[in-house]
């Protein structure tokens, strides 16, 4: 269990390993659901993605080679999994 300290201004700093576990990068947002009995659930906020967000996803992955549809699907799945790990 990780213990965090609340500052006089009511702020909390999350340790690097907590943010990595959640897959949160600097500048990203966190969602907190307040639950019964004084508990809370914390997770990375998932923003709306657009097709434009895919721009550059496969940059430097193909060495200039034209990929088949299967290769594109595999590369996208791999890049998405790596992005989710943070």
Rounded to two decimals, the pTM is 0.46
| Topology of the domain comprising 1-47 | Pemi-like Protein 1; Chain: D (2.10.260)
SS3 49: coil
Is residue 78 within 8 Å of 61, Cβ to Cβ?
Answer: no
Instruction: List per-residue pLDDT tens for the chain, 86 residues long.
Output: 888 899 999 999 988 888 888 888 888 888 899 999 999 998 888 766 666 666 666 666 677 777 788 888 887 787 777 766 65
Is residue 26 within 8 Å of 13, Cβ to Cβ?
Answer: no
Is residue 12 within 8 Å of 4, Cβ to Cβ?
Answer: yes
Cβ burial 7-18 (10 Å sphere, 16+ → b, else e): eeeeeeeeeeee
Is residue 64 within 8 Å of 3, Cβ to Cβ?
Answer: no
């Amino acid at each position: 269990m990780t213990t965090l300290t609340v500052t006089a201004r009511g702020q909390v700093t999350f340790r690097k390993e907590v943010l990595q576990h959640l897959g949160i990068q600097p500048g990203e947002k966190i969602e907190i659901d307040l639950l019964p009995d004084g508990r809370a659930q914390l997770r990375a906020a998932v923003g709306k993605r657009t097709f434009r967000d895919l721009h550059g996803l496969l940059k430097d992955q193909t060495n200039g080679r034209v990929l088949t549809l299967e290769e594109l699907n595999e590369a996208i799945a791999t890049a998405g999994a790596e992005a989710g790990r943070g």
